[in-house]
């Protein structure tokens, strides 16, 4: 029986289909061979995207048709539905701003999902093929992915250019990263802190934050300072309680619209 072909292509990666494919090979060698009377199966190993599977056929000692044993290699049957190279997937991720020196897989996944409404990925789906650069990342599907296979190259422009908000200062009472909302109990001449680890610096004559939609009867805020430092209000008019406005923070290619809610004002 060791003359039987070594590789099988079953209909699926399941054990029953592996046995069916092996039985077809056995009956080509010995058409009258019967399961249990002439041979048995053992040692099934399911094929995966990373490695072939296998199944052993053992001849029954009393069989007059088959002698010896044989191990068949099982070819993996692709069950995942989407090739990462699919032309429908948007692979140009545009400008990406991050807080660390090189782009991370989590950030790639976040921006990928923002760009692709139909195709969503998680850390169980992909991994880097090699170390990403500032302009591209080669990714491949993990064997644990239930939806994706193959690999592709994603293009982008990555900048270490990120603005952070201090959650604890004299005036900041809370900051919600998801909604970009800072709740402030404002006390005159005390600070609302903004920090950045962006490359480069601001001079004291540059506005980091430019107020938008500000009612002059409420307040005006201008923030000045150097990268990595706290930013202070430079002009304050009469501020009422329960005021809300939006300010746009811009640095290079990075910008974010921040909502500031004033819940209390102490003159």
- pLDDT tens per residue, range 199-232: 443 333 333 344 444 443 334 444 444 444 434 3
Beta strand pairing call for 7-8 and 53-59: unpaired
Q: Both tokens of residue 246?
A: 């939006």
Beta strand pairing call for 151-160 and 92-98: parallel
- Whole-prediction pTM: 0.54
Q: Both tokens of residue 34?
A: 């019967």
Dist CA 161 CA 101 (whole Å): 9
- Find the radius of gyration of the CA atoms of the chain: 32
Positive or negative torsion for Cα 72, 78, 84, 88: positive
Let me know: does 213 contact 228? Beta carbons within 8 Å: no
Query: Is residue 115 helix, strand or coil?
Result: helix
Other C-beta atoms within 10 Å of 114: how many?
11
* Residue 198 scores a pLDDT above 50: no
Let me know: does 195 contact 250? Beta carbons within 8 Å: no
| Residue 195 pLDDT level (bands cut at 50, 70, 90) | low
| Element at 23 (helix H, strand E) | helix 15-29
Dist CA 124 CA 128 (whole Å): 12
* Residue 124 scores a pLDDT above 90: yes
Domain boundaries, the chain: 7-74, 82-160, 163-266
Dist CA 71 CA 39 (whole Å): 13
Q: Taking all residues of the chain, what is their mean pLDDT, rounded to a whole number?
A: 76
Measured in degrees and rounded to the nearest 5, phi and psi for residue 4 equal -70, 145
| Residue 104 pLDDT level (bands cut at 50, 70, 90) | very high
The string of pLDDT tens digits covering residues 7-53 is 899 999 999 999 999 999 999 889 999 999 999 999 999 998 888 99
């Amino acid at each position: 029986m060791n003359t039987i072909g070594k590789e099988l292509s079953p209909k699926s990666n399941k054990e029953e289909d592996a046995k069916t494919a092996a039985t077809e090979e056995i009956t080509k060698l010995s058409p009258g061979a019967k399961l249990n009377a002439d041979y048995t199966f053992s040692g099934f190993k399911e094929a995966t995207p990373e490695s072939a599977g296998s199944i052993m056929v053992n001849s029954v000692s009393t069989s007059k048709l088959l002698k010896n044993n044989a191990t068949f290699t099982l070819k993996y049957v692709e069950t995942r539905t989407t090739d990462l190279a699919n032309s429908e997937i948007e692979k140009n991720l545009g400008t990406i701003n991050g807080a660390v020196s090189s782009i991370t897989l989590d950030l790639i996944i976040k921006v990928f999902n923002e760009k692709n409404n139909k195709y969503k990925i998680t850390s169980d789906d992909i991994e880097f093929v090699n170390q990403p650069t500032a302009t591209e990342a080669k990714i491949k599907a993990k064997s644990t992915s239930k939806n994706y296979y193959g690999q592709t190259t994603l293009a982008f422009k990555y900048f270490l250019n990120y603005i952070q908000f201090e959650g604890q200062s004299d005036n900041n009472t809370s900051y919600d990263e998801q909604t970009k909302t800072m709740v402030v109990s404002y006390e005159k001449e005390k600070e609302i802190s903004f920090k950045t680890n962006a490359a480069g610096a601001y001079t004291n004559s540059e506005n980091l934050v430019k107020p938008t939609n500000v009612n002059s009867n409420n307040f005006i805020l201008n923030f000045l300072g150097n990268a990595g430092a706290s930013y202070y209000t430079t002009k304050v008019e009469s501020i009422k309680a329960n005021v809300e406005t939006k300010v746009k923070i811009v640095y290079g290619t990075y910008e974010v619209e921040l909502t500031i809610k004033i819940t209390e004002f102490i003159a």
